Amino acid sequence: MGGPTILAPMADPRSREGARYGTPEVVAWLDGLHARHDTPLSEAFEADTRHGLPSIQVAPSEGALLGLMARLTGAKRAVEVGTLAGYSAIHLARGMGEGGRLWTLENDPKHAEVARANLAAAQLDAQVEVRLGDATDSLTALEAHAPFDLVFLDADKGRYDRYAAWAFANLREGGVLLADNVYFFGRLLDEEDPDAAAMRRFHTEVAGRFASTVIPTPDGLLLGLKTPAKTP
């Protein structure tokens, strides 16, 4: 046939090996279009400078993704493990809409207090409950409200394996598991670190029970679907 031999650039070997083209400038430009902050989101996002909280919230594009996931799945009942200042909680709750209910778990009283104020400023205090206490205890108490449509993990990484088991038991069929930092800050394959081992058990657990993938955000965002027809 003698068709054209020049191929348009598509996924290239470098990106398949992990090269990233999302430079800070590119990411900032895109966030300005796709992940713009209104006042409640920017106040929650800036809780590090405003309230001295750690700067460990999800990135704007990841927050927008969480909100879209909640919308796409029509989630009405969701659990978040790890609230911080409520930045990701605002995204999730907005994605669920007015009929949605989010329980978000936090063990640091200062973080919970800042989050409650940010959620109230976003007029989401009726839809979002911040539960102060160790997530393991809160999750046990929340079983009374199961089954859930969506669970988002973003707290202590050394317990992700147990949180995943809880999620599987307490999500409905068709429910969605999301988990941040599943590359474990680059230490996932570290043989010495017990938290890395827990994260590897988490992956084994999720891959065995959910239809799943890891979205290659900078530190990996796991997406799992609870389905009886898990396909390889």
Interface residues with Mg ion (CB under 5 A)?
154, 180-181
Sequence-ordered list of residues with C-beta below 8 angstroms from that of 223, at least 6 positions apart, any chain: 69, 176, 177, 178, 212, 213, 214, 215
Q: Are 205 and 193 in contact (CB under 8 A)?
A: no
**Selected range binding ligand SAH among 11-19, 79-87, 163-171, 190-198, rule: CB under 6 A:** 79-87
The residue at minimum Cβ distance from Mg ion is 180
Q: Where are the alpha helices (DSSP H) in 143-183?
A: 160-170
127 in contact with ligand SAH (CB under 6 A) = no
Which of 125, 193 has the CB closer to Mg ion?
A: 193
Measured from the CB of residue 5, what is the shortest distance to Mg ion in angstroms?
45
Q: Which stretch binds ligand SAH (CB under 6 A): 14-22, 53-61, 93-101, 143-151?
A: 53-61
DSSP 58: P
48 binds, among ligand SAH, Mg ion, none (CB under 5 to 8 A by kind): none
Binding ligand SAH (rule: CB under 6 A), the pick from 75, 96, 106, 175 is 106
Integer Cα distance of 105 and 80 in angstroms: 6
Exactly one of 43, 57, 168, 199 binds ligand SAH (CB under 6 A); that residue is: 57
Which is nearer to ligand SAH, 105 or 196 (by Cβ)? 105
- How many CB atoms lie under 10 A from the CB of residue 129? 16
Q: Which does 181 bind (CB under 5 to 8 A by kind): ligand SAH, Mg ion, none?
A: Mg ion
Half-sphere exposure of 31 (CA within 13 A, CB side): 16
Binding residue for ligand SAH, selected from 156, 190, 193, 195, defined by CB under 6 A? 156
Binder of residue 84, out of Mg ion, ligand SAH, none (CB less than 5 to 8 A by kind): ligand SAH
From 69, 101, 107, 224, residue interacting with ligand SAH (rule: CB under 6 A): 107
Q: What are phi and psi of 74, to 5 degrees?
A: 65, 30
Q: Tell me the C-alpha distance between 49 and 153, whole Å.
A: 24
Q: Measured from the CB atom, is 156 or 207 closer to ligand SAH?
A: 156
Q: Residue 156, Cβ neighbours under 10 Å: how many?
A: 17
Min dist CB 90 to ligand SAH, Å, is: 8
Please tell me the distance from the alpha carbon of residue 138 to that of residue 115, in angstroms, as a whole number.
17
Three-class SS of residue 106? strand
- Give the binding site for ligand SAH (CB under 6 A): 56-58, 82-84, 87-88, 105-108, 111, 134-135, 154-156
